[in-house]
Amino acid sequence: MKRKLKIVNADVFADGQLKKASIVVNDGIIEEILEGDRFEPFDGEILDCTGKIVLPGSIDTHVHIREPGSEERETFLTGTMAAANGGVTTVLEHPISVPPPYNSEILENRINIAKPQMVVDCGFYGALGTESIGNVKDMKEHGIVSFKTFLQEPMKGREREFKGLTISDDYNLLKAMEEAHKYDMMMAFHAENDDIIKGITKELTDSGRVDTKAHYESRPIVAEIECIIKLLVLAKAADTRILICHITTSEAMKILKTAKEQGIKVIVETCPQYIFTSEEECIDLGPMAKCNPPIRKKDDVDKIWDYINDGTVDIIGSDHGPYIIEEKMPGYDNIFKAPAGFPGLETRVPLMLDAVNKGKMTLAKMVELICENPAKIFKLDHKKGFIKPGLDADFMIVDMTKSYTIDKNKMYTKGRDVAELFNERKVQGYIEKVILRGNTVMEDGVVKDSMAGYGQLIKPYQ
Ligand SMILES: [Zn+2]
C-alpha cells in the first residue's frame, strides 16, 4: 500500500464549495489541502485530476447485504465491491441477517464474517426488538451506528430474518425508545402501519387481485403517515433521536418538516427509487420495481424535491436490497409472491450526479445528503464525509461532463439480474475513480477482489 499521494489540478469540494486545490495524503489520512495551482516537488505518487472534480467518498446509510443467511443474494465481498463501484466508501449495513444482530455475540460474529471480505469500510446497525430491549447498552458499547426496528410481527416465512428486530406493540415501542434515549442511541424505523396493509391486502387477494397494481394499492399513503405520526409522538415523549427510513410521500414530508420545527429529534431519509422514477413509469417492470413502501405516483415524486431542497430531507440512502431472479419471477403471476427490494448501491450516486447536472439540486446539496449529513448524523465525522485535514482520504474522482448508460451487466452486486429499475438510463456525471484511505478501490468500473479485507470496521465516536 502506498504511503504518500498528492492529487493535483482538481476542483476539490472542501468547505462547502469547489475550489482549485491539491490534496496531500499521508498514510491514508488527508494531511493538507493546498489551494490554488502551486507546484512543489513531491516524493510520492502524483494523481493528475485535470478537468475532474474531487468529492468526499459517499456514505450509504441504508444497505442490506444480509450475510450470514442469504449469501446467494449478496456477500460482504460482492456488496462492498458494488459499493466501491458506486462511489460509496462507507456502507452502513442494516441488521437483516440470520439471525439479526440483536445481541453483541451475534454482532461480533457478523463483523468477523464481514471483515476479511470488506473492500470498503462498514459500520453496522443493531437490531432492536421486544426481546432485546435489555441489550441497548451492550450493543452501544460494541460500536453500532444506530438501532433498526420494524413495527410488525415477523413476515411469514421470514421469521428467522426478523427475530429480535420487531416491536409490534406500542408499550414496548415506548420502552425501547426510553432505553435508547438513556444511552443516547438513535433508533431507525421502517414506517408503515401493518394493520392497514394486512387488511387491504386481504381484501385485494380475496377479490382475486394479485396484479402489480394491487401491491401499490395495498400500501396506501395513509399507512406511512399514520405510522410516522405515532413515531413522532412517542419519540417526543421519550426524547429519543429517531431516523425514519425511506419516506415516500410529500404529505409525510410536510408533517416531518413541522415536527423538526417543533424540536422533535427526527432524521429524514428518502431513496433514489422515490425521487427518480414513479409508479406510472415503472409499473410495467412488475416485481422488479416492487419495494416497500412502494414507489409513488409522479405528482408526489415531484413534490418530494421541494423537501430535498428545503432541508427537510437529511439523507439519501439506497435501501440496497438484492435478490436473485428466481425469487422475483413468481411476482409476474402474483405480485404478492415476490420479495420487496432491488439493488441500489451502484446507481444511487450516479443518479444524484445526473440530478446535479440537470439542475434539480446543487452539488453542495448532493454532498450534504450523501456525505456530510450521514457522517454527522451517525457520528462518523471524525473520519468521514468531508475533505479536510485529519480525516480519512476517501474520494470520488468525477467527470461531470461525461454521459453514459447504466448497465446492470456491469454491476458487482449478485442482484444484478433484478436491477431493472434504472437499467439503461442515460446519466451525466461519471465516477472515474474511488479512493479509500489513499488507495484506489475502483477505477473506470473495475473493482478488484484482491482488495477484500482492505475495508475497515467503522464505529461512531461516543
Ligand atoms: Zn431497508
| β-bridge partners, 247 | none
Nearest CA to 282 among 272, 295, 300?
295
CA–centroid distance, residue 389 to ligand 1 (Å): 33
d(CA 311, CA 309): 6
* Distance from the alpha carbon of residue 331 to the mean position of ligand 1, in angstroms: 19
* Residue 132 placed within a domain: yes
CA of 293 to the centre of ligand 1 (A): 10
Cα(318) to centroid of ligand 1, in Å?
A: 8
Distance 317 CA to ligand 1 centre (A): 9
Ligand 1 center from residue 292 Cα (angstroms): 8
Residue 160: what pLDDT? 83
Strand bridging mode 395-405 / 426-436? antiparallel
Is residue 459 in some structural domain? no
Instruction: Give pLDDT, residue 2.
Output: 55
Distance CA 291, CA 270 (A): 13
Domain assignment present for residue 34? The answer is: no
What CA–CA distance (Å, rounded) separates 317 from 91? 10
CA distances from 238 to 184, 379, 431 (A): 11, 21, 43
What is the structure's pLDDT at 162? 85
Query: What separation in Å is there between the alpha carbon of 319 and the centre of ligand 1?
Result: 5
Ligand 1 centroid–CA 3 distance in Å is 37
Domain with residue 142: its CATH number is: 3.20.20.140
Give pLDDT tens digits for 72-100.
999 999 999 999 999 999 999 999 999 99
- Domain assignment of residue 214, yes or no: yes
For residue 459, count CB atoms less than 10 angstroms from its CB and return exposed for 0-12, middle for 13-18, buried for 19 or more: middle
2 CA → ligand 1 middle, Å: 36
Establish if 323 belongs to a structural domain: yes
Whether cis (ω within 30° of 0) applies to the bond prior to 154 is no
Contacts of 87 (CB under 8 A, 6+ apart): 55, 57, 58, 349, 350, 396, 398, 431, 434
Ligand 1 centre and the CA of 124: distance in Å? Answer: 13
Residue 127 CA to ligand 1 center (angstroms) comes to 13
Q: How far, CA to CA in Å, does 228 sit from each of 102, 171, 235, 311, 419?
A: 24, 16, 10, 18, 29
Report CA(252)–ligand 1 centroid distance (Å): 18
Calculate how far, in angstroms, residue 43's C-alpha sits from the geometric centre of ligand 1: 45
C-alpha–C-alpha distance, residues 137 and 385, integer Å: 27
CA–centroid distance, residue 459 to ligand 1 (Å): 20
Residue 409 lies inside a defined structural domain of this protein: no
Q: What is the pLDDT of residue 227?
A: 97
Cα 95 to ligand 1 centre (Å): 9
The pLDDT score that the predictor gives to residue 325 is 97
- Asked if 192 and 227 touch (Cβ cutoff 8 Å), the reply is yes
Q: Which residues are CB-neighbours of 228 under 8 A, at least 6 positions away? A: 191, 244, 247, 252, 255, 256
Peptide bond just before 330 cis, omega within 30 deg: no
| N residues, the chain | 462
> Does 42 reside within a domain?
no
Give the Å distance between the CA of 146 and the centre of ligand 1.
14
pLDDT tens digits for range 126-153: 999 999 999 999 999 999 999 999 998 8
Domain span at 77 = 58-377
Residues of the chain falling short of pLDDT 70: 1-2, 38-39
Report how far ligand 1's centroid is from the alpha carbon of 320 (Å).
7
Distance, CA of 45 to CA of 57 (rounded, Å): 20
Distance 64 CA to ligand 1 centre (A): 6
Angle at 246 between CA 217 and CA 127, to 5 degrees: 110
pLDDT value of residue 437: 97
Q: How far is the CA of 27 from the centre of ligand 1 (A)?
A: 35
At 40 the pLDDT is: 76
Name every residue whose Cβ is closer than 8 Å to that of residue 183 and which is 6 or more positions away in sequence.
136, 137, 140
State the distance from the centre of ligand 1 to the C-alpha of 278, rounded, in angstroms. Answer: 19
Ion ligand 1: residues, CB < 5 A: 319
**Would 433 be classed as within a structural domain?**
no
Q: How buried is 69 (Cβ within 10 angstroms: 0-12 exposed, 13-18 middle, 19+ buried)?
A: middle
Q: How many angstroms separate the alpha carbon of residue 245 from the centre of ligand 1?
A: 7
Cα 74 to averaged position of ligand 1 atoms, centre (Å): 14
Q: Give the distance (Å) from ligand 1 centre to CA of residue 351.
A: 19
Task: Quick: pLDDT tens for 248-259.
Answer: 999 999 999 999
Query: Which pLDDT score is estimated for 139?
Result: 98
Give the distance (Å) from ligand 1 centre to CA of residue 422.
Answer: 18
Mapping DSSP onto H, E and C, the string for 260-321 reads: HHCCCCEEEEECHHHCCCCHHHHHHHHHHHCCCCCCCCHHHHHHHHHHHHCCCCCEECCCEC
What's the gap in Å between 86 CA and the centre of ligand 1? Answer: 18
Tell how far the Cα of 428 is from the centroid of ligand 1, in angstroms: 27
Q: What total of structural domains would you count in the chain?
A: 1
